[in-house]
Amino acid sequence: MGLLDGRRALIFGVANDHSIAWGIAKALHDAGATVGFSSVESLIERRVRPLATSLGATFVEPCDVQDDAQIARVFERWREAHGDDAGLHVLVHALAFARREDLEGAFIDTSREGFALALDVSAYSLVALTRAARPLLRRGSSVMTLTYYGAEKVVANYNVMGVAKAALEASVRYLAADLGPDGVRVNAISAGPVRTLAAAGISGFKTMYGQFADVAPLRSNIGIDDVGGTALYLASDLSRQVTGEVIYVDGGFNILGVPAPEG
């Protein structure tokens, strides 16, 4: 018996097999969940569908989360695919975007348009997806998203994404308060630096990643399977009284005041 036998999960944001969202998908599938996927249309056939097929998943739908009509269509397709018992037990939001020019240089140079875009895709989309999913979420369901320490402290070149992640974390708390009476939990996972397609767009990421294992208390880098394990906990009844939280999967990096490698 798996922790998630008989449950259904819908994951937004898989880009390739290095994605944190893919690590989460594997963990939920291995625990018995039926997993569905949604991602940007340009990635569906080339990257997402082959990964979904490897897990036996048949629900793969494109979605631009800046378009409420497309969000509504994904959840209507979910109802069509699962019939009258179209319940959704796990919703995973693994979406973030900012213009490359806004992830280098000074934060003060962020354009109005770049700021709005980052906040819309990286933070508001959680609100939009959760609202659309709400009629399908059962008591005991779990909504989760991905954040990063740059929401709390200044991280070089993270810039507007740090502000967007701060908004995302605040949204988690407000959504947890809204959905709590329905028995639905909302949490965030704050992962340490992971080599993903999204991370590659941050100036200086390779240097940060290379030094991370020298300063994190557990002296190791973070992998997508590490995040997947925590997502499994949040998706299961093991976390049935946990909501509105940011859970760190960063080898303890967030506890340090002035990180410095041993010398």
Report, as residue numbers or ranges, the catalytic residues: 148, 158
Residues listed for the chain: 263
Beta strands in 149-200 (DSSP E): 185-191
Contact, 36 vs 86, CB < 8 A? no
- In b/e form, how buried is each residue of 16-38, taking b as 16+ CB within 10 angstroms? bebbbbbbbbbbbbebebbbbbb
Q: What are the structure tokens assigned to 190, written together?
A: 């704050």
CA 6 to chain centroid, in Å, comes to 22
**Measured distance CA(193)–CA(199) in Å, rounded:** 8
Contact, 185 vs 243, CB < 8 A? yes
Helices (H) and strands (E) in the chain, counts: 9, 7
Contact, 43 vs 15, CB < 8 A? yes
The single residue listed with the structure tokens 């290095």 is 18
**Measured distance CA(236)–CA(89) in Å, rounded:** 9
Q: What are the structure tokens assigned to 130, written together?
A: 């959760």
